[in-house]
Structure 1
Amino acid sequence: MTDVANRAGTRRTYTHREVMEILSGLLLALLTSMISTSVVGTALPTIVGDLGGQDQLSWVASATLLTMTVSTPLWGKLSDIFGRKLMFQTALVLFVAASVVAGLSQNMGMLIAARAAQGLGAGGLSALTQVILGDVVEPRERGRYSGYVGAVFGVSTVAGPLLGGFIVDASWLGWRWCFYVCIPLAVIAFAVIQKVLRLDHEHRDARIDWWGAFTITGAATSFMLVLSLGGHEFDWNSPWTYGLCALGVIMILLAVVAERRATSPILPPRLFGNRTFVLASLASLLVGIAMFGAMIYLPQYLQIVKGMSPTDSGLMTLPMVVSLFLGSIVSGRIVTRTGRWKLFPVAGMVLVAVGLGLLSRLHVDSGYLVIGLDIAVFGVGLGLTMQMLILAAQNAAELRDMASTTSGVSFFRSLGGAVGVAAYGAILTNKVKSEMTSLMTAAHIRPSGSGTTLSLGTPEAIGKLPDPIRAIVLEAFARGMQMVFLVGVPAALLGVVAVLFLREVPLRSSGGAQTRRPAHAENS
């Protein structure tokens, strides 16, 4: 059984069966949002082609990640005020409604707005899953359950592109069903949560830190707009870049002032006095940089360089999913038995660095067995790391700061992902351009406009290029991918340093000495 102290100072007991019932609803909702987000990647070329907005593709791709990142800390605070269950269901309904609107989109503006709303819902589902798990399971027992969260992440990474490829290729469905496919799963998840989730909710001073919300969101949005759109919508060396960066710095300074003065801040300043929270957030930021970059750009290597179809490239990532699943589950169970956790994020970050180093050695003629083994090493590293960092932060936090701590760590991981995706995209673009120019010059081929840019069409179009040009393009992309993965290695190694400095605070098996004020049962 899992014991959790409630607000009245007594203890509420959740059996393993009850925890699994709650977890099933949480994970089904999380899986719904993550698959619905990743399924669109395969279909994006078709979608923007149909709606006539190729020049706005970057906005479609970045809108969800942007709003998901900036909203994460807000959901934690709102759940403190209005209750976990209500906010989780609100996030789920918002995500589904936005998905329906996206499926009904008649133009790019409507689609981009819907994708931004999808990100708001996805941010709530991602953050509150961890918050609720922290409420119903003590840290000592949490390892055995948190592994499933990591497994859902891995499964959705593969299932999304596979499902997207099938939907787009099926003439009787069409790309709009990439957004509708989540509805049945969401309805089931909502019903399960409604039935099984029973949490005690403390009435607090229901004053929302609006000024903190505005400044934190403004700071994150400013920097993410630069990272997501710089080099595409505007030049890096441009007034837009400098203006947004300056705005971001100003917003950070205002956020510090706002959070120090707020009665109930979104990110309490005391969290940054907690060494474990700071190091776990830093490590999560670095994990996000390494993880999202590799996951986003690995399919490009498989589809462009290796000539695989979207479906086949999704299947090729199965070794990562299996290894991530096993790493999450096995490490979680060991932590539950022993109470020792630090070894896993240390070993995990080392394996992430090793995996990225191995991936940086892939070339045009790399065998599928080698690719699979390299991906598996990377997956094990992620499985040992992601949930352990949240567990460590939750274990070191005061009970009143559980939601803020959890959403804060998740926020920094999402922010790292945005940084990684944007940085790797810029690196890949510049590297491929320079390599193509160099290889064409060496082959005494006069480079044409299309031959020196990334406007080469789909992977299928690249595969149909004349043989000399095709070989050059594939080699240039292979070298570009090598650089992308190699640049991720220093980020992973910095993550190793961050987790080495974490103190291994013994995992709590009870609520500790901290008490909570009387409460009433949350509405069911």
Structure 2
Amino acid sequence: MASMFLSSLDQSIISTAMPTIVGELDGVEHQGWLITIYILAVAVVMPMYGKAGDSWGRRWPFLIAVALFTLASAGAGFAGSFAELVIWRGIQGLGGGGLMILSQAIVADIVPARERGKYMGPMGALFGVAAVAGPLLGGWFTDAHDWRWAFWVNIPVGLLALAVAWVTLKLPSHRSDKRIDVLGAVLMTLGTSGLIVVATWESMVGSYDLGDTRLTGLVLGTVVTWGVFVAVELRAEDPILPMRLFRNSVFTLATAIGLVIGMGMFAALGFLPTFLQMATGVGVTQSGFLMIPMMVGMMATAIASGIAITKTGRYKIYAIAGMGIATATLVWMTTITADISMLQYSAMIFVLGAGLGLVMQTVVLAVQNAVDPREIGTATSANNFFREIGAALGTALFSSIFTSRLVAGLDDVFAGAPQTGGEAAPSSLTPQVVQALPAPLKDGVVAAYADALAPAFWYLVPLLALGFVLAFFVREIALSDVAGMVARGEAVTEAQAVAGTTAEPEAVGDVPAAGVPAGHDRDLEPVAASGPAEDG
């Protein structure tokens, strides 16, 4: 939980501190790279960590990920230049991608799917907490202390996680005699890099100019790279992203739902604080506090649904309900106006959080329960990978729509206004400047923000509606009573150890192998598996 929180937190913690950071380090022109490099690194390594954990065991990849992330946090905090900070942020992402994936896969290794909901629920809630707490903490550190604490805060938590994992994480390691899919890894890195850069092109370059040969070349190169990647993976002995997973309808549908969740959730989170600052005049930190209702809603439903899934064994209904609630709430959010009350605003984002909390970890559980136990890490990482891609694409799409509408609206507001000084130009508005404007002009600016934000949500509604429809077609498979390590033959239950029996390593799907009795198997004893054990 600590490691997953760190990884999720660092996707958003610098968003509110960004103006101060780039101003101090002279990086205003390239500030987009601070977020892009982290998202890119996380997305690229997710499938690699998942595959490494399936092939060689998860203990050492997890320890390496924690160490990388903690070291990079220290380096970022002490960075003396913008270039140094970008490099350390990239290294942070290389560790952060492993933390998010391996924490979920380790739970799947040691907890049966039948009981996994009560563990995955809090993890899903923690993801939502991090998404809201990131901007809040980043703003507080910047206002009250130093922006460098946004990175230094990770060090004690990272060291604690590393120490606890080193002592207690006794998972078996083993050697794989299959050839490493180097070409697949290289192509995935290139393809993901191209996709992320295209998605964030506007924030880094300025605009999507179809006549720009650089952009055209990048798009074509990205499409070709992904085509070659698919061809390579179909032929690889041990592919980093097996194409056969997409023949599993549960995996495909759940992954598609994860993609649209990423697109909708991060787009909404990214622009609501900006609207609040402009409309109400609250500061950076205070606007973060106003996102707390969303966090509360997500925590409540994620934990409650996890407990309910453990008791009943039914999970499909929560994915359907969650997507339905999130879709309806986005429709509701298209009614946001400049004079919206904070009570109504809080109700909106609380319900949105509640919907997302019902579905986020439920789709991960569905994926893990539907695939071969020997590919739990690969399947989990693929599901999260597509959610990260969705977040990048959704934020880019929403940003383009919102910004274009906002610029047009502000131009109209200032067109007939008297000269008020350069500080009140549309291109240089800040919350403080807006609050100091004459009343008619201030009302016009706030209305322009509301008129740009509310209709933009309509572009996200069809995406979430598609996820709602897809949730009905997810096949509900009975949750297994056998943990992943037992199903793979890497561990036996306490009862089996006493009886002198072992698990058969021939289980296919997250179902009991022959000779493995159903029941609770949380107390596991590791056994040698698919090669000489190195530890555990």
- In the superposition, the TM-score normalised over structure 2's length comes to 0.88
* Cα shift readout 1:224-260 (whole Å, capped 9, x = no counterpart): 1011123641532121221111111111111112111
Aligned to 2:293: 319
Alignment of 1:18-417 (within 5 A): 27-170=1-144, 173-205=145-177, 207-230=179-202, 232-233=204-205, 235-236=207-208, 237=210, 238-417=212-391
**Match for 2:481 among 493, 502, 509?**
509
The change in CA–CA distance for 1:181 and 1:87 in structure 2 (over 3 A counts) is same
Q: Gapped runs of 5+ residues in structure 2?
A: 488-510, 515-527
The change in CA–CA distance for 1:447 and 1:466 in structure 2 (over 3 A counts) is closer
Q: Distance in 1 between matches of 2:418 and 2:470?
A: 48
**How much does 1:518 deviate?**
4.5
Q: Work out whether residues 456 and 462 of structure 1, in 8 Å CA contact, stay in contact via their aligned partners in 2.
A: no
Q: Confirm or deny that 1:428 pairs with 2:440.
A: no
Q: Confirm or deny that 1:523 pairs with 2:535.
A: yes
Q: Distance in 2 between matches of 1:54 and 1:499?
A: 42
**How much does 1:440 deviate?**
4.0
**How much does 1:319 deviate?**
1.3
Q: Work out whether residues 148 and 329 of structure 1, in 8 Å CA contact, stay in contact via their aligned partners in 2.
A: yes
Bigger mean CA deviation after superposition, 349-358 or 227-236 = 227-236
Q: Work out whether residues 433 and 452 of structure 1, in 8 Å CA contact, stay in contact via their aligned partners in 2.
A: no
* Cα shift readout 1:138-180 (whole Å, capped 9, x = no counterpart): 111111110011111122223222222222122xx41112111
The change in CA–CA distance for 1:399 and 1:475 in structure 2 (over 3 A counts) is same
Q: Distance in 1 between matches of 2:409 and 2:419?
A: 14
Q: Distance in 2 between matches of 1:325 and 1:53?
A: 36
Q: Work out whether residues 437 and 447 of structure 1, in 8 Å CA contact, stay in contact via their aligned partners in 2.
A: no
Q: Distance in 2 between matches of 1:308 and 1:365?
A: 14
Q: Distance in 1 between matches of 2:419 and 2:147?
A: 39
Q: Work out whether residues 350 and 496 of structure 1, in 8 Å CA contact, stay in contact via their aligned partners in 2.
A: yes
Q: Work out whether residues 437 and 452 of structure 1, in 8 Å CA contact, stay in contact via their aligned partners in 2.
A: no
* Cα shift readout 1:398-429 (whole Å, capped 9, x = no counterpart): 11211111000000011100011111111111
Give the secondary structure class of the aligned counterpart of 1:355. Answer: helix
**How much does 1:196 deviate?**
2.0
- Equivalent residue pairs, number: 494
Bigger mean CA deviation after superposition, 502-511 or 247-256 = 502-511
Q: Distance in 2 between matches of 1:219 and 1:428?
A: 27
Q: Distance in 1 between matches of 2:148 and 2:422?
A: 34
Q: Confirm or deny that 1:487 pairs with 2:499.
A: no
Bigger mean CA deviation after superposition, 145-154 or 97-106 = 97-106
Q: Distance in 1 between matches of 2:434 and 2:214?
A: 33
**How much does 1:514 deviate?**
4.6
Give the secondary structure class of the aligned counterpart of 1:354. Answer: helix
Q: Which letter maps to 2:201?
A: L
Q: Work out whether residues 181 and 239 of structure 2, in 8 Å CA contact, stay in contact via their aligned partners in 1.
A: yes
Among all aligned residue pairs of Structure 1 and Structure 2, give the percentage whose two residues are the same amino acid: 36
**How much does 1:102 deviate?**
1.4
Q: Which letter maps to 1:127?
A: I
Q: Work out whether residues 92 and 121 of structure 1, in 8 Å CA contact, stay in contact via their aligned partners in 2.
A: yes
Bigger mean CA deviation after superposition, 310-319 or 514-523 = 514-523
Q: Distance in 2 between matches of 1:222 and 1:380?
A: 34
**How much does 1:87 deviate?**
0.6
Bigger mean CA deviation after superposition, 504-513 or 400-409 = 504-513
Q: Distance in 2 between matches of 1:112 and 1:209?
A: 28
* Cα shift readout 1:67-123 (whole Å, capped 9, x = no counterpart): 111221111112223321111111111111212221122222111122122122111
Q: Distance in 1 between matches of 2:160 and 2:475?
A: 41
Q: Work out whether residues 423 and 429 of structure 2, in 8 Å CA contact, stay in contact via their aligned partners in 1.
A: no
Q: Which letter maps to 1:272?
A: F
The change in CA–CA distance for 1:522 and 1:353 in structure 2 (over 3 A counts) is farther
**Match for 1:497 among 439, 444, 469?**
469
Bigger mean CA deviation after superposition, 298-307 or 42-51 = 298-307
Q: Distance in 1 between matches of 2:186 and 2:472?
A: 34
**How much does 1:217 deviate?**
1.7
* Cα shift readout 1:470-507 (whole Å, capped 9, x = no counterpart): 32221111111113322221111010111111111111
* Cα shift readout 1:265-316 (whole Å, capped 9, x = no counterpart): 1111110111111111111100100011111111112222222222222221
Q: Distance in 1 between matches of 2:401 and 2:213?
A: 21
Q: Distance in 2 between matches of 1:71 and 1:266?
A: 11
Q: Which letter maps to 2:166?
A: Q
Backbone CA RMSD of aligned residues: 2.1
Q: Distance in 1 between matches of 2:458 and 2:244?
A: 36
The change in CA–CA distance for 1:353 and 1:449 in structure 2 (over 3 A counts) is farther
Q: Distance in 2 between matches of 1:317 and 1:49?
A: 26
Q: Work out whether residues 144 and 336 of structure 1, in 8 Å CA contact, stay in contact via their aligned partners in 2.
A: yes
Q: Work out whether residues 323 and 355 of structure 2, in 8 Å CA contact, stay in contact via their aligned partners in 1.
A: yes
Aligned to 1:18: none
